[in-house]
Structure 1
Amino acid sequence: MRATRVVVLGAGIVGAACARELALAGCAVTVLERGGPAAATTAHGEGNVLVSDKGPGPELELARLSRRLWPEVLAETSDLSGASGAPEAARAAEWDPKGGIVVATTEDGARELERFAASQREAGVRAEPLDAAALAEAEPHLTRDVTAAVAYPEDAQVQPTGAATVLLADALRAGAVLRTGCEVLSAVARGGRITGVRTSLGLVEGEAFVDAAGPWAGELSARLGAPVAVRPRRGEVLVTAPMPPTVFHKVYDADYVGAVGSGAGDLQASAVVESARAGTILLGSSRRRVGFDDRLRPEVLSVVARKALRLFPGLSGVPVMRAYGGFRPYVDDHLPVIGADPRLPGLWHATGHEGAGIGLSVGTGRLLADLFLGRAPAMDPGPFRVDRPAVLAASGPRVPEGEIG
C-alpha cells in the first residue's frame, strides 16, 4: 500500500511534532525549512509547558492534552531510538516538571487570581492556594509583598531547541526527509487541489501540505493562495549569568494572564521569572506587535527587568548575560489554527499558538494527525477550525488552477 505523501512546511517545534505523528502513522513525510530546524521562533522561546495561564476553554483543553502527552512522547522517543529508557529523551529535551507559582501583589490582583484559579479547578486543573509560610518555603528568595499565591504542579519546562530536535529526530527515524534552505515560493493546484509547491530548490509534490510556519504562516498561506490572519507578535527575554539555585518554579505575576490575552498592539509586559538547567535565570515577558522588526529595544528590556525585580529583589546585582527576542504567531481570537483549509483541498494548517507553541506542540501534532487520518480526535477540534472569522479575516479570492503565488 502506497504511503500518503505529506509535506510539512516549517521545521520549528510545531512542524516537528506534526511530522513525527504523521511519519509514525506511516505517511511519507517531507519537511521543508527555509532556514535551519528550530532556528527561528522555537529557538527564541522560554520552553513553557503551562496550564496555569489558560482559563477554561479549548486552549486549556489542548494544553492539558499536551501536558499529558509530553512525558509519553519522550518515553516513546527513547524506546524507538533504542536508548536506555525514557530518561534519555527527557534529558535531551531538558524535561523539568517543576511546577509553577502565580502570585498577586495587590488586593485587586488577589481577588482576580483567586477567581481565575477557582474557574480552572472547575475545569480539572490542579490549582493549590499557598499561604505565606508555604510560599516562603517554596520560593525563599521571592518578595514577601504578595497578597495571594497559587501553585500549579502540572506546569513544566523544556529546552525549546532540544525538545524540537528530539521530535524531529524521531520523525526522521520513522522515514521523514528534511530539506533545509528551502523557501516556499508558490503553490501548484490541479483539479481544485494543491498538488505541489515551488521552492528555491525546485518543485516538491505531495498529496497534502501542512502550513506550520509559525509567525510566517500568514505570509506563506498567502503565497499558497489561501491566506490566514496569522501575524507576528514580538517578545523579549533577559538571561542572567549562571547563579546558585535561586528560583525553583516558574514564577509570574498574575497580570501575565491579562498580557497574554490582550489584543493591544502596544507593549504588554508582566513579571515572569524562572531558572534554566544551566543555572541562568530567564526574565520576561513582553508582547508587542511591531511586524517583523527584530530590533531589541532597551526601553522594553528595562520594563521587563523592572517588573521581574519586583518579584525577586535579590536579582538587582546579578549581571545580565544576554537578551533575545522572537516572533510568535498571533491570531485575534487567541486560539491556534489546526485543521484542513476548506478553500484549498490538500492544504492543512498548524499555527497560531502565539507564545504557547512549545507546550502545545505535541497536542497539536496529535490532533492534526487524528484529523488527517480520520481517527477519533483526542479532543474537540471545532474551536481551532480554519474557517472561523478571526482566521479568514485575510481571506482573498477563490484559489485558481495552476500556479499560485
Structure 2
Amino acid sequence: MRGPRVAVLGAGIVGAACARELARAGLPVTVLERGGPAAATTAHGEGNVLVSDKGPGPELALARLSLALWPRILDEIAERRPETARAVEWDPKGGIVVAATDEGARELERFAAGQRAAGVTAEPLDASGLADAEPHLTRDVAAAVHYPQDAQVQPAAAAAALLADALDAGAELRTRCEVLGPVTRSGRLAAVRTSQGTVEADAFVNAAGPWSGGLAARLGAPVDVRPRRGEVLVTAPLPPTVFHKVYDADYVGAVGSDAEDLRASAVVEATRAGTVLIGSSRRRVGFDDRLRPEVLSVIAAKALRLFPCLDGVPVMRAYGGFRPYVPDHLPIIGPDPRLPGLWHATGHEGAGIGLAPGTARLLADLLLGRTPPLDPAPFRADRPAALGDPSPTGGAA
C-alpha cells in the first residue's frame, strides 16, 4: 500500500482539490459524490479568487496561499491536459472596490491599509485612474481601491480540471453514491455505508460543502456548517463593458454579517463569453432553493447604481446556490479529534473557489505529517464556532 487510503466525501471544488493533492502525493484516493461532480455549490458560484474582501487574519493567509498555488496547479495540469487547463479560463484581471459615501470611503481606506500591512497589494485610484480602468462605471464615487491580485476562473471547469488531474494520478470517482452512516471500530471511523455499499478507508474527508453539517452529524461528529443562499444574474453577451471585478464596499460587510435576513451589495464582473455576472446576495433560508424576484430586484438595482449603462440590458438567466456558512466565518480544515479517521475541509461560504488549493495543501500536510505552510489552529474542527451552540436548542444545522 502506498500510504493511508483516503475517501473524499464530496466532488465540489474543495473535494476535487483535496483529491488531487492527496492523489498526487501518492495516496490511494476514492471520491464519493452523492450527485454529479461540481453540480451543486461549485456550479452556482461566480468563480472568485479574491484577496480584496478579506481583512488581516487566518482566512487572508489561506487566500494568499491559494492565490500563489492556483497558477502553479494550472501550469501542471496544462502539461498533461492543455485543453482542460484552458477551459478553466484563469483570468488575473484584478478587482476594484468602490465606496459611494465619505463615511464608506474612510472605512474602505482603513480596511485597505490593514490589508497592505498584511501583504496585499491595494492601490488607491483617483478619479482619472478609475475612469481609465472602468470607463463605464458611475462617476459618483467617493473612493476606489484597485486589487491587482484578484482573479477569476470558470468554477465548474476549474473543479473538473482538478478532479481530472486527481483521476489521472490514480484516484477513483463514484457518483450517485450517498453516504448513509458510519462503521466504527475501536472508536475510529473505519468505513462508511453508502448507497453503493460499504467503503473502507483510513481517513475520510468531509468536503460536502453546505451539506457538511448534516453529513458530519450522520457520521456521529456534528459540526456547525449551515447553508447560506446567494443569487446571481447573468446578462446577455455584451461588448467589453466591465474590465475588473467591481464591487461596492458594502460587500465586505455582507460577507461578514451574521444576519439571517437579506444582505445584498453590488458585485459586477464580465466573463470571457461576454456575459456580465451581477451579484450578490446572502440569506439564511435553510435549503429553500426558490428564486425570489424581490431579491433579484435588489441585486439589479444596486448594480445599476454602479453601472448605469446596464439599464435595459437583457438578463439571460438567474441562478442561486448554497454556500457553507460557519458562524465565525472561517472554514473547518483538519482532523476531528472526537472521531479519529474523520477529517474536514468545509465551511468556506462563498470563498471556496479561491480557497480550494490552499485548503487541499493544508489538509494534505496535516494528514501526511508534514509541516503546513500556515498555522492550522484557527481552522481546527473542535473550536467553539465549529462545534455550534451546546445548549439544548442549539447545535449544528
TM-score by length of 2: 0.97
Q: How does 1:286-305 map to 2 (within 5 A)?
A: 286-305=281-300
Secondary structure at 2:311 match in 1: helix
Deviation of 1:2 after TM superposition, in Å, equals 3.9
How many equivalent pairs are there? 392
Q: Which ranges in structure 1 are unaligned for 5 or more consecutive residues?
A: 398-405
Q: Matched residues in 1 for 2:165 and 2:241: separation? A: 35
Q: Matched residues in 2 for 1:378 and 1:395: separation? A: 32
Secondary structure at 1:317 match in 2: coil
Secondary structure at 1:244 match in 2: coil
Checking the alignment, whether the CA contact within 8 Å between 1:251 and 1:272 is kept in structure 2 is: yes
Q: Matched residues in 2 for 1:103 and 1:128: separation? A: 12
- Give the equivalent residue in structure 1 for 2:335: 340
Q: Percent identity?
A: 79
Superposed CA deviations along residues 195-243 of structure 1, whole A, max 9, x for unmatched, are 1000111111111100000000000000100000000000000000000
Q: Matched residues in 1 for 2:226 and 2:151: separation? A: 27
Q: Matched residues in 2 for 1:185 and 1:299: separation? A: 37
Deviation of 1:395 after TM superposition, in Å, equals 6.7
Q: How does 1:304-343 map to 2 (within 5 A)?
A: 304-343=299-338
- Give the equivalent residue in structure 1 for 2:130: 135
- Give the equivalent residue in structure 1 for 2:20: 20
Secondary structure at 2:227 match in 1: strand
Q: Matched residues in 1 for 2:203 and 2:389: separation? A: 22
- Give the equivalent residue in structure 2 for 1:220: 215
Q: Matched residues in 2 for 1:395 and 1:231: separation? A: 16
Superposed CA deviations along residues 164-215 of structure 1, whole A, max 9, x for unmatched, are 0010000000000000000000010001110100011111111110000000
The partner residue of 2:366 within 338, 346, 371 is 371
Q: How does 1:53-72 map to 2 (within 5 A)?
A: 53-72=53-72
- Give the equivalent residue in structure 2 for 1:11: 11
Superposed CA deviations along residues 346-370 of structure 1, whole A, max 9, x for unmatched, are 0000000000000000110011000
Q: Matched residues in 1 for 2:243 and 2:288: separation? A: 34
Q: Matched residues in 2 for 1:266 and 1:302: separation? A: 15
Superposed CA deviations along residues 15-37 of structure 1, whole A, max 9, x for unmatched, are 00000000011110000000000
TM-score by length of 1: 0.95
Checking the alignment, whether the CA contact within 8 Å between 1:160 and 1:358 is kept in structure 2 is: yes
Checking the alignment, whether the CA contact within 8 Å between 2:77 and 2:85 is kept in structure 1 is: no
- Give the equivalent residue in structure 1 for 2:37: 37
- Give the equivalent residue in structure 1 for 2:118: 123
Change beyond 3 A, Cα 1:266–1:20: same
Secondary structure at 1:52 match in 2: coil
- Give the equivalent residue in structure 1 for 2:395: none
Q: How does 1:4-403 map to 2 (within 5 A)?
A: 4-79=4-79, 81=80, 83=81, 88-393=83-388
Deviation of 1:315 after TM superposition, in Å, equals 0.1
Deviation of 1:78 after TM superposition, in Å, equals 1.9
Which letter maps to 1:129? Answer: P
Q: Which ranges in structure 2 are unaligned for 5 or more consecutive residues?
A: 393-397
What is the root-mean-square deviation of aligned Cα atoms in Å? 1.2
Change beyond 3 A, Cα 1:291–1:364: same
Checking the alignment, whether the CA contact within 8 Å between 1:330 and 1:353 is kept in structure 2 is: yes
Q: Matched residues in 2 for 1:380 and 1:207: separation? A: 24
Q: Matched residues in 1 for 2:140 and 2:122: separation? A: 21
Q: Matched residues in 1 for 2:112 and 2:18: separation? A: 32
Checking the alignment, whether the CA contact within 8 Å between 1:228 and 1:395 is kept in structure 2 is: no
Checking the alignment, whether the CA contact within 8 Å between 1:227 and 1:394 is kept in structure 2 is: no
Which letter maps to 1:78? Answer: A
Change beyond 3 A, Cα 1:282–1:346: same
Identify which range, 385-394 or 13-22, moves more after superposition: 385-394
Q: Matched residues in 2 for 1:2 and 1:195: separation? A: 18
Deviation of 1:396 after TM superposition, in Å, equals 11
Checking the alignment, whether the CA contact within 8 Å between 2:7 and 2:30 is kept in structure 1 is: yes
Q: Matched residues in 1 for 2:372 and 2:356: separation? A: 15
Checking the alignment, whether the CA contact within 8 Å between 1:75 and 1:89 is kept in structure 2 is: no
